[in-house]
Amino acid sequence: MAFSSLFLFFFGAIGIFNSFLISFYFLLYKKPKQISNVLFGWFLLFISERALRSLIYFFSEISPNAYSTFGPVTFLCIGPFFFLYIISVIRPESSIITYWKYHILCWVLVAISMHIIFPFRSDPIFYKKYILKAINIQWAIYVLIATISYIKHLRKDTEAAREKNRSIHWWLGSLLIAVYIQWIIYFFISYTYFVVGSIVFSVLFYMFYLFLLKRKKERNHIFEPNSKYNKKKIEDETASTLITTLTSIMTDQQLYKNSGLKSSDIAMQLGISTHQFSQLLNDNLDKSFAAFINAYRVEEAKRLIKENTKYTLEAIGKESGFNSKSTFYNSFKRVVGMTPSVYRDQFLRSEL
């Protein structure tokens, strides 16, 4: 084997080997057993197996080789497990996740039937020309459904929820892109160059692995259950008292006028930690800190527009606590449904 071929084999194999280890970790060792992590482990196992099969196919001198006895029927599980993983993260209470084993069982039975009726070794050309293409289309359908479900979930999310789950949204979006890249390679590249799929798989695997290795906070948010967080959730009675105090502080002291206001400043006045204040906003008011403060600033801007018609809008924005004209305009339009200039024009017309 030439040095270049040996290098390609080593680089492809090392990524696949580590991917197998990670999949076994999620399936066998990771505690507590969270359904999303289990589904991710199965998805990673089957897509790693496909990358391994491509590597062996490229470098094996025997075709078909002993490993390829079952042909590509195991590839039928990649799409379903990927789809189920995405759904388990964005809609964990869905009935699809409750009965996920039956979903997979259907495809396992299809794979077994295909192996019995059309043994791979009896006609590998038929498999490569028709069966593998059908499996790739099945994979693409599942990825498209997962993408649509993810986009719908993003649109339904509140601003606070998006802020809270930013790392999860980043992870799912990046994972979707990576899977699309792998699918495009396996669908369009000829069998002669299937090793490209294994190489790209290794590159993508190490990119994700190194990022998550260095970003412990994001890694925990993506793969750790939320039970620890839920146990610390502020009780309803305490939250109600804090919200009343918070409203009083914001109204009386007009803290929102300070453009450099931080969440820690308000938390200090409430006598709670910054983390607890964030929980109060997210869980009880369903708002991020920025959305909460900007809502007060917009109301102040509306008051100033009505009472000081000679002020410039930029001056009104600064007086209300906004640190830039663009932030003022964007926040005002998001809350009111129109820009400050349109709002002022409508008010002036109504006064005539």
User: Got the DSSP string for 47-113?
Assistant: HHHHHHHHHHHHH-SSSS-GGGGGGGGGGGGHHHHHHHHHHHHH-TT-HHHHTHHHHHHHHHHHHHH
Q: What kind of architecture, by CATH, is found in domain 3-229?
A: Up-down Bundle (1.20)
Q: Return residue ranges of the chain for CATH 1.20.1070.
A: 3-229
Residue 313 has pLDDT above 70, yes or no: yes
Contact 74, 49 (CB under 8 A): yes
User: For 147-153, what is the mean pLDDT?
Assistant: 93
Structure-token pair, residue 351: 């006064």
Domain with CATH 1.10.10.60 in the chain: 236-351
349: how many CB neighbours lie within 10 A of its CB?
8
Instruction: Tell me the average pLDDT across 83-101.
Output: 91
User: Which CATH number describes the domain made up of 236-351?
Assistant: 1.10.10.60
The answer, yes or no, to whether residue 162 has pLDDT greater than 80, is no
pLDDT in tens, 56-81: 776 665 444 555 566 788 899 999 99
Q: What is the pLDDT of residues 219-271, one digit of tens each?
A: 777 887 554 444 456 777 888 899 999 999 999 999 999 989 998 899 989 98
pLDDT one-digit tens code per residue, 266-302: 998 998 888 888 888 888 888 888 889 999 999 999 9
Give the whole-number percent of the chain exceeding pLDDT 90: 37
Does the reported pTM lie above 0.75?
Answer: no
